[in-house]
């Protein structure tokens, strides 16, 4: 019988999109009892259609009981506590602390747990619940992320890193930022399931049927981090073909909707992404050079590499380790030229050879390190 304490994880909604924390926890589920707590409060309160829809959905979730996934695979117990959708000010923080402590304490029944959080909104819970250990898994620079309540999250994060037992960061840039807050961390970069992404087997996606060839593909959140100027230049320079943007969108440059070559496919299931990749000539990651993009570790980059397709990406700290496996660019001219070159000649064999290093980047290997860091005492 497994005698290790349960894990309680605070993060994005389970199953909503495949975050790094979800990938890691899926690997731990066969060995550990896990409670996954869906949280809110990272965005500033707004009276707009997105917020109303999201708020209504979260309220409906809170009225249902905790659940586990029923797909036949190991899954966490998902907790959906009622929360006030903001942490601005002392009263809001105290109110949410009481709601969360009561909800989680009832589930744990007095047992100690290993608490893991990817969001700083639970800073006030440290010390309020019986804990074997508190771990902050820092995956993004929330203070500079577009659309988030940056000032509030910055305050909460400073409180959190001062009190948790261990800090894990997803990139060297995040490690340096945490050092500025007076806290050392252990870097654990993202993994990849290479077999899932390999394009040599399986079918292409029907979602791109009727799209003019060649297909240049991006998937992920479509927001202000995308370099709209690069996409405008690419659209103007392509005599034919389609720039397919796949994923949810939030506060992106509206000029993209008017481009003849750009096609928005919306959000698709995670399992459909390899099929979409098989349709593409080139996979692109045209992020602007911003504080938030310099700090992040994009999951999609290693996923792109694992497909075997040509990859053209912005030159950022997270991509530099793989500069021999993809075309990394810094200007619009370089971006357009690299995309055209890869459309014409396909993947470079030396780049494909460099991607063999992905075999050492599996989620299973990353999860073993993550598990050890969560369970062992911090130095």
Model confidence pLDDT, tens digit, residues 21-48: 999 999 999 999 999 999 998 887 665 5
Is residue 242, in this structure, part of any structural domain at all? yes
Residues 11 and 97 in one domain: yes
Higher pLDDT, 199 or 4: 4
pLDDT at 200 over 60: no
Q: Indicate which CATH number applies to the domain containing 294.
A: 3.40.50.2000
Same domain for 275 and 203, yes or no, is yes
> What's the pLDDT at 43?
82
Q: Please list, in sequence order, all residues whose beta carbon lies within 8 angstroms of the beta carbon of residue 50, skipping any fewer than 6 positions away.
A: 250
Are 125 and 247 part of one and the same domain? no
Return mean pLDDT, the chain: 91
pLDDT above 50: residue 70: no
Q: Is residue 282 part of a domain?
A: yes
* 221 and 289 co-located in one domain: yes
Spatial separation of the C-alpha atoms in residues 302 and 283, rounded to whole Å: 11
Residue 101 sits in which domain range? 7-191+362-375
Same structural domain for residues 210 and 166?
no
pLDDT beyond 50 at 154: yes
Q: Crossing angle, helix 363-375 and helix 20-28, to 10 degrees?
A: 80
Question: Based on the domain organization, do 51 and 177 belong to the same domain?
Answer: yes
Provide the number of structural domains found in the chain.
Answer: 2
Mean pLDDT score, 208-227: 95
Binned at pLDDT 50, 70 and 90, residue 198 comes out as confident
Q: Are residue 157 and residue 233 in the same domain, yes or no?
A: no
Burial of 215 (0-12, 13-18, 19+ CB in 10 A): buried
pLDDT number for residue 147: 85
Tell me the pLDDT band of 166, cut-offs 50, 70 and 90.
very high
Looking at the structure, tell me whether residues 11 and 147 fall in a common domain. yes
58, pLDDT greater than 70:
no
For residues 183 and 204, membership in a common domain is answered with no
Same domain, 51 and 106: yes
Residue 226 lies in a domain: yes
Nearest-10 crossing angle of helices 228-237, 332-345: 50
Q: What is the mean pLDDT of residues 240-244?
A: 97
Mean pLDDT, rounded, for 110-131 = 97
> Residue 34 is encoded by which pair of tokens?
């896990």
**pLDDT for position 261:** 96
Pick the range with the lowest mean pLDDT from 187-191, 293-297, 324-328: 293-297
pLDDT category at 71 given cuts 50, 70, 90 is: low
Q: What is the pTM assigned to this prediction?
A: 0.90
Residues 61 and 117 in one domain: yes
Residue 313, pLDDT > 80, answer yes
pLDDT band at 1 (very low <50, low <70, confident <90, very high): very low
| 161 found inside a domain | yes
Q: Taking residues 322-337, what's their average pLDDT?
A: 98
Is a pLDDT exceeding 80 seen at residue 61? no
Instruction: Look at residue 2 and tell me if it is in a domain.
Output: no
Give me the pLDDT at residue 333, please.
98
Q: Chain-centre distance of CA 166, in angstroms? A: 21
Same domain, 244 and 339: yes
pLDDT at position 235: 97
């Amino acid at each position: 019988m497994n005698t290790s304490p349960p894990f309680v994880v605070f993060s994005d909604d389970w199953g909503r999109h495949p975050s790094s924390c979800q990938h890691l926890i899926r690997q731990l589920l066969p060995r550990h009892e896990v409670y996954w707590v869906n949280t809110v409060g990272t965005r500033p309160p707004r009276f707009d259609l997105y917020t109303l829809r999201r708020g209504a959905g979260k309220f409906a979730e809170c009225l249902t009981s905790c659940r586990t996934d029923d797909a036949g695979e190991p899954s966490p117990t998902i907790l959906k506590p009622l929360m006030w959708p903001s942490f601005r000010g002392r009263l809001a923080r105290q109110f949410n602390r009481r709601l969360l402590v009561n909800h989680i304490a009832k589930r744990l029944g007095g047992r100690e747990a290993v608490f893991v959080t990817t969001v700083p909104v639970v800073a006030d819970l440290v010390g309020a619940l019986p804990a074997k250990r508190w771990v902050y898994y820092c995956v993004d620079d929330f203070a500079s992320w577009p659309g988030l309540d940056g000032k509030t999250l910055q305050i909460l994060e400073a409180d959190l890193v001062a009190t948790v037992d261990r800090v894990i960061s997803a990139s060297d840039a995040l490690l340096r930022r945490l050092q500025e807050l007076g806290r050392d961390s252990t870097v654990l970069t993202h993994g990849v399931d290479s077999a899932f992404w390999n394009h040599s087997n399986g079918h292409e996606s029907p979602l791109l049927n009727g799209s003019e060839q060649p297909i240049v593909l991006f998937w992920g959140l479509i927001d202000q981090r995308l370099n709209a100027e690069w996409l405008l230049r690419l659209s103007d320079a392509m005599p034919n073909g389609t720039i397919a943007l796949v994923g949810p969108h939030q506060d992106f440059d509206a000029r993209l909707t008017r481009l003849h070559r750009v096609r928005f496919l919306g959000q698709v299931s995670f399992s459909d992404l390899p099929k979409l990749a098989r349709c593409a000539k080139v996979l692109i990651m045209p992020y602007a050079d911003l504080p938030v993009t310099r700090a992040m570790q994009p999951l999609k980059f290693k996923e792109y590499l694992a497909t075997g397709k040509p990859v053209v990406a912005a030159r950022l700290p997270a991509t530099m380790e793989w500069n021999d496996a993809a075309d990394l660019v810094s200007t619009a001219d370089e971006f357009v030229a690299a995309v055209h070159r890869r459309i014409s000649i396909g993947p470079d064999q030396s780049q494909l050879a460099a991607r063999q290093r992905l075999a050492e980047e599996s989620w299973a290997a990353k999860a073993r390190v993550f598990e050890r860091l969560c369970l062992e005492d911090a130095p």
